[in-house]
Amino acid sequence: MRNGGAGEFTNIEFVFLDRDGVINRKPGAGTYVTCWEEFELLPGVEDAVAKLNHSGRKAIVVTNQRGVALGLYSLQDLAEIHERLQDKLALRDAHLDAIYVCPHDAGQCSCRKPLTGLFEQAFRDFPTAHAGNRIVVGDSLRDIEAGRRLGMRAALIDDGTASPSPDLQLARSLAQVSVVSLPDFVRRYLCPGHLW
Give the residue numbers marked as catalytic.
18, 20
Give 116-119 contacts, CB < 8 A, sequence gap 24+: 116/146, 116/149, 116/150, 118/62, 118/63, 118/146, 119/16, 119/62, 119/146, 119/147, 119/150, 119/152
Contact yes or no for 44/86 (Cβ under 8 A): no
Cα separation of 34 and 72, whole Å?
7
Tally of CB atoms within 10 A around 16: 26
Please calculate the CA angle 56-132-152 and round it to the nearest 5 degrees.
Answer: 100
Looking from the CA of 62 toward its CB, the CA atoms found within 13 Å total 29
